[in-house]
A and B are shown apart, each in its own frame.
Chain A
Amino acid sequence: MPDRRCTERSEKQESMSRFIFPKWLDAIRPLLLLILAGGPAYLIAMGYYGMWPSTRTKGYMPKQPVPYSHAIHVGKLGMDCRYCHTTVEKSSHASIPPTATCMNCHQAIRPDSPKLLPVRESYASGEAVEWLKVHNLPDFVYFNHSAHVTRGIGCVSCHGRVDKMEEVWQEAPISMGWCLDCHRAPEKHLRPVEFVTTMDWAPGEDQITLGKRLREENNINPSTDCSTCHR
C-alpha cells in the first residue's frame, strides 16, 4: 500500500546521505558516556570545592594599616599573647590592644620608624588604629574566648602558628562543621591550661590519652545543641 506521500518522502530522503551520524560517533561512545556522566560530576565537585569554607575563607589575610609582625613580637621576642589581647581569659572577646599598649615599648624602641607612623599619629590624635578583623564570625554565632581558653584549648588550635606569621591570616575554616568536630571530640585539642598561649607546646604523651584525662579531670563536656552557639 505505497502511500503517495510516503513515496515522496522516501525520494526526498534518498537525496540526503542515508546515514545520519558519522561512523566515528559510535567509536567515541565510551568517551561520550564519560562526558555525560563525568561532566556533571566534575561540575558538582568543583561547585563543592568552591563553596567549601576551607576554600572560601581559609587564608584570608587583609592588608593591615600597620605592618605589625606577629613573627617578630611573638616568635622572636617571645611576647605572650595576653600582653596585648588582655581580655582573652575573662571575656568573650580577646580584645585588640589600644595604641597605648604599642607605645609602651615603641616610645623607646625605634621611635622614628616610618612603619610606625600610623601608630604615632593615633597616639597623638587619640583616634584608634583601624585594624582589620581577620577571624570574623557571622552575627548569628555566639563565641566566647574565655570559655575555651580557661578550659585548655590553646590559641594555636584555632589561630595556627601566629608566632610564624608576618601578617596574620585565617588558618582554620571556622565553619560550623569545623566547630562541631572539636565539640564532639574535644580531647583532640585539650591541653593543660597553663600552656594555652604556648605556641610550640607538644603533649609529652599521646594527645588523645592526655585529652581524655583532662576531660575527665575538668569535666569538659561541650554541648552540641543548636542553642550553644545560636542563641
Chain B
Amino acid sequence: MSVAENRVATDKPSFFGYLVEFDNVDSLIHAAEKVRDAGYTNWDAHTPFPVHGMDRAMGIRYTKLPLVILGGGLTGLGGALLMQWWMNAVNYPYIISGKPFWSIPANIPVMFELTVLFSALTTVFGMLAFNKLPQWRHGVFSSARFARATDDRFFISVEATDPKFDAKKTADFLAGLGGSEVEALED
C-alpha cells in the first residue's frame, strides 16, 4: 500500500489509476463482481485469455459490432451487384458466348465473395475501432508485473478518471478484494 499512498499524496496528472493482481480465475471473477457492484464504470479486467463468465461479472453489454458488420456485408453485396450491372450491362455491354449482358446467376459468385470480403474487413477494423486499438501507450503498461497479464496472471485496473474514483477509498476498496497489494499506475 505504501507505493499507492505515495502516489496519492502527490496526485500528479501523470497518475493513471490502480492495478490489483489475482492469480486465478475464480478470485478475479469474484473481485470483478464487487467492483461492478460498487458502481465503478471506468475500470477493466486484464486476462491472458477470455475468461468465461466475465461479461456478466463486469456488466458488459453485448457489442454492437455485428450490426456494423451486417452493414459492411450489405454494402459488399449491393456494391457487387451494382458494379457488375453497370460494368457489364451499361458501360461496356459486350456479347460473349451468347450470354445475356445481365443475368443474376452469373453475378452470384462475385456478389458472394464481395459480401464476405467487406464483412471481414468491417469485422476486423470495426473490432479494432470499437476497442480503440491500436493504442500502443496505456497506463497499465507502467506496471512491471503487468507483463504477466499476457502470460498467467489476472488483473483489475481502475482508472482515476472514473467518477466514483477516490484516491484513498478506491485504494482501500481494491485492497479488500483478495488480490495482491494495490499498485499505482502512471501515464
Contact A19 B137 (CB under 8 A): yes
Taking the complex as formed, is A4 at the interface, i.e. its CB lies under 8 A from any CB of chain B? no
Contact with B along A27-54 (1 / 0, CB 8 A): 0010000000000000000000000000
Query: Could you count the A-B residue pairs with CB atoms below 8 Å apart for me: how many are there?
Result: 30
Q: Are B144 and A14 closer than 8 Å at their CB atoms? A: yes
Residues of chain B at interface, number, CB under 8 A: 13
- B161 near A: Cβ within 8 Å? no
Task: Provide the residues of chain A in CB contact with B143, threshold 8 Å.
Answer: 18
Known A10-B147, A13-B147; judge A18-B137 contact (CB<8 A).
no
Interface of B is mostly: loop
Are the CB atoms of A23 and B137 closer together than 8 Å? yes
Nearest residue, chain B, Cβ from A26 = B137
CB distance from A222 to the nearest CB of B (A): 15
B residues near A29, Cβ cutoff 8 Å: 134-135
- The residues in B between 106 and 155 inclusive whose CB is less than 8 angstroms from any CB of A are 134-137, 141-145, 147-148, 151
Task: Name A's B-contacting residues (CB within 8 A).
Answer: 6, 9-10, 13-14, 18-23, 25-26, 29
Q: Which B residues fall within an 8 A CB radius of A?
A: 134-137, 141-145, 147-148, 151, 187
Some 24 contacts from A to B, beta carbons below 8 A apart, are A6-B148, A6-B151, A9-B147, A10-B144, A10-B145, A13-B144, A13-B147, A14-B144, A18-B142, A18-B144, A19-B141, A19-B142, A20-B136, A20-B141, A21-B136, A21-B137, A22-B137, A23-B187, A25-B136, A26-B135, A26-B136, A26-B137, A29-B134, A29-B135
